[in-house]
Amino acid sequence: MKACLLRKPAPVNTNPLELAEVAKPVPGPGELLVRVRACGVCRTDLHVVEGELAPRKSPVIPGHQVVGVIEAMGEGARRFHLGDRVGIAWLHQTDGTCDYCRAGKENLCEHATFTGWMVDGGYAEYALAPEAFVYAIPESFRDLDAAPLLCAGIIGFRALRLSGIARGGRLGFYGFGAAAHLAIQVARHWGAEVYAFTRDEAHQKLATDLGAVWAGYSNEDPPVLLDSAIIFAPAGELVPASLPVLKKGGTLALAGIHMSTIPAMDYNLLYHERVVRSVANNTRQDGEDFLRIAAEIPIRTEFQLFPLAEANRALNALKDDEVRGAAVIQVSGQ
């Protein structure tokens, strides 16, 4: 099968992914072999490719927003049927036995594995996944529309939950890429007002097109204080910059898996019970809940399409903030 291999992390502008022929994987017990139709391109893929997430498998096939159809099933797999359309996401598998898993916090599992980093992902014609960690894709979404839902959507949804935003509340988004352009649609569905902070004027326009009541640069003050905010950009300097726009008792959620160093800051920025919390991975329940709500709204995905052979170009466009909404690699299908 054709696949994009990362043999060694390197700056994305050196085009480090190699399109190669590799052996088609064979599903083991409880696994599904999925013929990939589309795979979303995530900022976490950039962190893997450039080594900001330390290599855990080499070579590795990146990609963890996979939509495809089941072509083969391993022994004991019976949750789905051949030909079913499914999604493979970031959380590949957990041990199910550690304290976190038993407490319903599998996103913090001590022995979790992650798609496209620790195991091969979806920048390929085929991908494997345990059936217990695979999602049914709502019929209302085309393959290309569904792919960004599987990480940008799910992580944005978990970030919304952890931000504590309530109906009628005022919510800030720092960075307006793939995750934010989906999360704003959920936030509006919940009745929240969204204020978008982004350095790119095209992204400011996308935010207002999707219902933001205000959009400006990251160093600007919004017209009102906010109840909560989410930082989607991997920029640590935004933490002290964003805290002053929160009300007393407000929550700042950090939605990225990797962030540059947070600068030293005055304690007064945190005083009055402001909370800063990270968002680590997601649970399967987050994914199931989000996909159900996404179909109810229904969420509209903005994406830019790339063929598998141009995965390097997709990653460069993402890093250079040239993508409106999400980038999606089309492998086959719709």
In this model, does residue 334 exceed pLDDT 70?
A: no
Q: What does the pLDDT average to over 114-139?
A: 98
DSSP string over 234-291: S-TTHHHHHGGGEEEEEEEEE--S--PPPPP--GGGTTTT-EEEE--S--HHHHHHHH
pLDDT of residue 302: 95
Could you tell me the pLDDT band of residue 333, with boundaries at 50, 70 and 90? low
Domains contained in the chain, CATH given:
2-150+302-330 (3.90.180.10), 153-278 (3.40.50.720)
DSSP string, 83-94: T-EEEE-SEEE-
Q: Coil, strand or helix: which one is 58?
A: coil
**Closest by Cα among 301, 148, 190, 173 to 233:** 173
Helix or strand (DSSP H, E) at 25: none
Beta bridge mates, 86: 68, 136
Condensed to tens digits (0 to 9), the pLDDT of residues 236-267 reads 999 999 999 999 999 999 999 999 999 999 99
Averaged pLDDT, 60-88: 98
- DSSP state, 151? T
- The answer to whether the predicted template modeling score (pTM) of the entire model surpasses 0.85 is yes
Tell me the mean pLDDT in the region 81-89: 98
Place of tokens 């159900």: 292
- The answer to whether 6 touches 59, Cβ cutoff 8 Å, is yes
Structure confidence by residue, pLDDT tens digits, 13-59:
999 999 999 999 999 999 999 999 999 999 999 999 999 999 999 99
Convert the pLDDT of each residue in 189-210 to its tens digit.
999 999 999 998 999 999 999 9
Sign, CA dihedral 147-153-154-156, equals: positive
User: Tell me: the pLDDT tens digits for 290-321?
Assistant: 999 999 999 999 999 999 999 999 999 999 99
What is the rounded average pLDDT of the residues 271-285? 97
Q: Tell me the per-residue pLDDT of 134-189, one tens digit each, with 9 for 90 and over.
A: 999 999 999 999 999 999 999 999 999 999 999 999 999 999 999 999 999 999 99
Taking the C-alpha atoms of residue 198 and residue 134, their distance in angstroms, rounded to an integer, is: 33
Q: Provide Rg for the chain, Cα atoms.
A: 19
The mean of the pLDDT values for the chain is: 97
Using pLDDT thresholds of 50, 70 and 90, give the confidence band for residue 116.
very high
| pLDDT score of 332 more than 90 | no
